[in-house]
Amino acid sequence: MNEEFRDLLRRVSIASIRLDGAYERLSKKMGVKANLLWLLYALDDGKPHSQSKICDEWLFPRTTINTIIRECKANGLITLEAAPGQKREKRICLTEAGREYARQALRQVYEAEEDALQETLKVCPATFISDFEIFAANIKAAFDKHMPEA
């Protein structure tokens, strides 16, 4: 691999790690576990979600999701409902307390994200998001191809 290409990949990796780190720091400042914050984020779109759907879309390990869901259920933040037409799959639903908790926790996240996006759009076209999504899909596919699960 040529040095310029390696440098580009390194820059993308560092940016990705910094992005993850920024959310991790924010969650710590808020006193919320990062994985809980991501689960709330995933559920906050108002659409039905199953554990497997969240694991597939967000690349969460199944054991991580199981642990977070057990904690959220015990704390009255979510309920699990039978998914229509599916025997084993459960839909994860925020309770009223869960919606309020998510609203409060995510308000700060959304405000910060909006500020960051506004600043970014001053210097980058909005297509950078699609470009990043394409790269994320391609890197996942390449990792799956080059490092199949054992």
Residue 50, strand partner residues: 91
Q: Which residues of 35-54 are buried (b: 16+ CB within 10 A; e: fewer)?
A: bbbbbbbbbbeeeebbbebb
Q: Is residue 15 part of a domain?
A: no
Q: What pTM, to 2 d.p., does this model score?
A: 0.84
Q: Is residue 18 part of a domain?
A: no
Angle between helix axes 96-121 and 34-43 (nearest 10 degrees) is 90
pLDDT at 148 over 80: no
3-state DSSP assignment of residue 41:
helix
Per-residue pLDDT tens for 58-111? 999 999 999 999 999 999 999 999 878 877 888 999 999 999 999 999 999 999
3-state DSSP assignment of residue 33:
coil
Per-residue pLDDT tens for 120-140? 999 999 999 999 999 999 999
Per-residue pLDDT tens for 31-41? 999 999 999 99
Residue 149's pLDDT band, with cuts at 50, 70 and 90, is confident
Q: Is residue 5 part of a domain?
A: no
Q: Which residues of 73-86 are buried (b: 16+ CB within 10 A; e: fewer)?
A: eeeebbeeeebeee
Task: Please give the residue range of the domain that contains residue 45.
Answer: 32-146
Residue 125, domain CATH: 1.10.10.10
Alpha helix (H) ranges present in the chain? 3-30, 34-43, 51-58, 62-74, 96-121, 127-146
For residues 77 and 94, the answer to whether their CB atoms sit within 8 Å is yes
**3-state helix/strand/coil string of 85-98:** CCCCCEEEEECHHH
Count of domains observed in the chain: 1
Distance between CA atoms of residues 49 and 93, nearest Å = 8
- In the block, tokens 């015990």 appear at 74
Q: Is residue 11 part of a domain?
A: no
